[in-house]
Amino acid sequence: MAADSMEIDDALYSRQRYVLGDTAMQKMAQSHVFLSGIGGLGVEIAKNIILAGVKALTVHDTKQCTKWDLGINFFIHEDDITSQRNRAEATLHRIAELNPYVHVAASTVPLDETTDLSFLKQYQCVILTEVSLLLQKKINDFCHAQQPPIKFISADVYGICSRLFCDFGDEFEVLDTTGEEPKEIFISNITQSNPGIVTCLENHPHRLETGQFLTFREVNGMSCLNGSTHQITVVSPYSFSIGDTSDMEPYLHGGIAVQVKTPKMFYFERLEKQITNPLCLVADFSKPEAPLQIHVAMLALNHFQENFGRGPNIGCLQDAEEMLKIAMSISETLENKPQVNGDVVKWLSRTAQGFLAPLAAAVGGVASQEVLKAVTGKFSPLQQWLYIDMLDIVTPLEKMGSEEFLPRGDRYDALRACIGDSLCQKLHDLNVFLVGCGAIGCEMLKNFALLGVGTGQDKGLVTITDPDLIEKSNLNRQFLFRPHHIQKPKSYTAAEATLNINPYLKIDSYINKVCPATENTYSDEFYTKQDVIVTALDNVEARRYIDSRCVANLRPLIDSGTMGTKGHTEVIVPHLTESYNSHRDPPEEEIPFCTLKSFPAAIEHTIQWARDKFESSFSHKPSLFNKFWQTYPSAEEVLQRIKSGESLEGCFHVIKTLSRRPRSWTQCVELARVKFEKYFSHKALQLLHSFPLDTRLKDGSLFWQSPKRPPFPVKFEFNDPLHYGFIVSAAKLFATVYCVPFTEKDLSEETILKIISAVKVPEFRPSNKVVQTDETARKPDHIPVSSEDERNAIFQLEKSILSNEALESDLQMKPISFEKDDDSNGHIDFITAASNLRAKMYNIEPADRFKTKRIAGKIIPAIATATAAVSGLVALELIKVVGGYPADAYKNCFLNLAIPIMVFTETAEVRRTEIRNGISFTIWDRWTIYGKEDFTLLDFINAVREKYGIEPTMVVQGVKMLYVPVMPGHIKRLKLTMQKLVKPSADKKYVDLTVSFAPETDGEEDLPGPPVRYYFVQEDN
């Protein structure tokens, strides 16, 4: 982002713009940030805020690179250690490469109690990591005292605990606390009373909160509400009160209430004061006391460091005892005198010298978002402490001797100090399958590299796959990629970049989609070789499929995802937890067909209509046209066949397209002008012909009332940029699909005006066709063709043949695939113009190109901060999965960095389904039956009964019903061999079947059973 012109590079920042908005992006591009400490946590924060696009970042560090750093800082390499480089200088050019718009400088001068802090006045935000508590207090006091205050953030990771603190000054104003779109509520009634009660349309809950402000528009009757703003009190999910309406005119119909964003002031205390009375964000409600306990333990650690000039030694019980004494005395000085948790203090002491890189990724993601809040005033800041810990892992570590945690002089010493050598070795020997190398995928590979996943001498492998190529918009958060990687495969590039972090990683990369079509590659055998599967996907369908494969092959799965500042993680462990498919999100609400076609009420409806028009005109119809002429290669043959009474599917529409085919740029512009009239004038006139403005329903109420909006025809004006924009973008797209060349001169206003002035626009003729008003009706698959249409088709085709306009070149079109990120292709220009013209026709507030692109392109807003946090949390859970931890150790997480909230919950325990007589199963159970060559279906049913004590009454393979007794002919199948019924391929050793059992009483549904894996021949044990 060029700070002088303040233009936002949309190709780079588009996904983040949808999270922060342009005002915040521009404030960020003017901000200077100072970061001290470029260790494992500092480099995470630096990465995220450089990707986000601050103007300038100074990274400060006085330490030299050591072997230890290789396991915590992904931008420090072996040669930095041999050259004894300073950490800030070693990482400078690597972090600067992340974003050419950010100026990055290094500072290596000492920062201590004697330093003159006036140099900090040039910065809007100061971040401290690896700084003593005494110096943190001094710098915080200096920052807090400035006018305006310099926003202050300190963050640290010690072993298995982390701490984050924010102070943005006495008062900090936030203009948008959540970043959510203002809600629009359609009104069905407003009472004349004190207070007036507003009711929204049924089945549309308002989702508002008491205290929020709304403004009103388009209210009929009680019109004095229009334009006024009211604070609301929620009455029910469908109603709220707005103050006295008793003296107003009676409400008639219609009206929209729109949420108004109001600024909110946040108040902060200095670090010195907050230490004694901390305000903490509680992340795990099952342990509300934990933040204060860790607060005391970390203060004790800081005092230990001050008293002894060192940290507690790894695994040293004496140092742990000393730290416990310090914690006891500190607790007495705090306002609430919190109880000291001896275990927390002991484990912090034992691991404090160590460093968990995934914990740094998690807290670094949160801290980076706080930096962005500090410099933009967007979203609610953290007040004022956050503690994230990994105390869930300590129980099995108790049994290990202290030598397990001691350094061995390699890059994993920091990790070893936290989890012990045995668990480190398990990580090294791990076979992991990572699906997706986008934003989360890149972050996961970085975490794998720092943990040494897949680096074992004899065992261990990381397998990755992603079918996508790198786009410029990926560079804003997929930090392993650089501009010279654009249009290269993500997986190959990510693999290469990961080896720069840890050259000992063994990694196989593929460019396949993981789906039923690739089950030869990602077979049961492949899954069985994996120790864990990690998904980094952006759609539910793929998640469901991979989850089903993991359940079928009893493999653990860790899933995660983000949308803007929101993120989730979910751990799925065989026999312990439910799977991803055990719960279903409500399906996305589809816009009813009649709303899209005739009765739009919101800009989303007009954008979807325009997107559908694009698909239909420039992709679907040209594809059908080509397919038809590939089936019937000549126009003469088609003419002969339809004359002889043959019905050729789709021929009417294909002939219509051929006969109207534009053959010059002039005809493309004429076609665009005719379409303008049809879409934005004739459509309105037809609807008003079918339903005049005074039309009433059977109950006497008006037809045209909220949410139905009457349309009004749009009169074409050449000088209106919206009208002109539609003509040019539509003409260019028609020229592309019909293979008509055009020049720059053709696109000039002069040429377009000349063509349009000569166009004879067809007059409107009302028709009597029925307008669909039923919201439950779906789009019809086929519109029947009348005999008159068929006669017309013969005439048109004959005419085209006689005019030499049905030659081979005329029987081809060039379908266009919608591409949202190429601004030169005109796709979003057409959709924006078409959508806003339709919005104008229905008096709906239009949307700019930016918003239209998000909705039409179904773009998921994304930002590096949330991605980093989520992937760090996934890697923490991975350690537990590898360690074989019990169910209560695993945590799922939901976070929203904007508010901010972070909620950890225990995983859902797997449900057991009872069949009968004490026989039960879970989703993880699989029965097995071994057969032989002449094994019949009856043999199979008997084998299940003998082995499991219950007789199947139904056998299904996928969607194919092998045996359902009530179906004709199925009883005869009992004598058929399993080979004949299933018809396996030659290499198939088994088949997975679903069985069910007769209910205990007639009339009830059959009882479900677990999957049964049937082996065609007895396997050698």
- One-letter amino acid for residue 722 of the chain: L
Kindly state the helix (H) or strand (E) to which residue 563 belongs, with its residue range: strand 557-563
**b or e along 98-116 (b: 16 or more beta carbons within 10 Å of the residue's beta carbon)?**
bbebbebebbeeebeeeee
Q: What is the CA radius of gyration of the chain?
A: 33
Question: Distance between the two ends of the chain, CA-based, in angstroms?
Answer: 64
Q: Could you give the C-alpha distances from 770 to 251, 614, 880, in angstroms and in order? A: 32, 24, 62
- One-letter amino acid for residue 649 of the chain: E
**836/405 Cα distance (integer angstroms):** 64
**736/818 Cα distance (integer angstroms):** 13
Residue 564 near residue 863, CB atoms below 8 Å? yes
Task: Give SS3 for 63.
Answer: coil
Residue 838 near residue 818, CB atoms below 8 Å? no
Q: What positions carry a catalytic annotation?
A: 594
Q: In sequence order, what are the beta bridge partners of 128?
A: 36, 154
Residue ranges in 429-523 assigned as alpha helix (H): 439-451, 490-501
**DSSP conformation letters of 575-629:** TTB--GGGS-PPPPPPPPHHHHHT---SHHHHHHHHHHHHHIIIIIHHHHHHHHH
- Residue listed under structure tokens 């029947």: 784
Q: Could you give the C-alpha distances from 509 to 158, 531, 801, in angstroms and in order? A: 34, 17, 54
Q: Extract the tokens encoding 769.
A: 């066709």
Residue 879 near residue 423, CB atoms below 8 Å? yes
**Residue 533 phi, psi (nearest 5):** -115, 135
- One-letter amino acid for residue 247 of the chain: D
**17/448 Cα distance (integer angstroms):** 29
Residue 482 near residue 472, CB atoms below 8 Å? no
Task: Give SS3 for 407.
Answer: coil
- One-letter amino acid for residue 820 of the chain: K
- Residue listed under structure tokens 């004590």: 949
Q: In what order do the strands lie in the sheet with 253-260?
A: 229-231, 213-220, 253-260, 184-190, 197-200, 239-241, 233-236
**332/151 Cα distance (integer angstroms):** 30
Residue 10 near residue 820, CB atoms below 8 Å? no
Residue 414 near residue 66, CB atoms below 8 Å? no
Q: Which candidate, 302, 20, 16, places its Cα nearest to that of 161?
A: 302
**649/782 Cα distance (integer angstroms):** 11
**Residue 823 phi, psi (nearest 5):** -70, -15
How many Cα neighbours within 13 Å face the side chain of 24? 23
**377/122 Cα distance (integer angstroms):** 18
**Residue 124 phi, psi (nearest 5):** -90, -20
**DSSP conformation letters of 87-147:** HHHHHHHHHHTT-TTSEEEEE-S--STTS-GGGGGG-SEEEESS--HHHHHHHHHHHHHSS
Q: Extract the tokens encoding 1013.
A: 């894996």
Residue ranges in 309-356 assigned as alpha helix (H): 317-333, 342-351
Residue 552 near residue 991, CB atoms below 8 Å? no
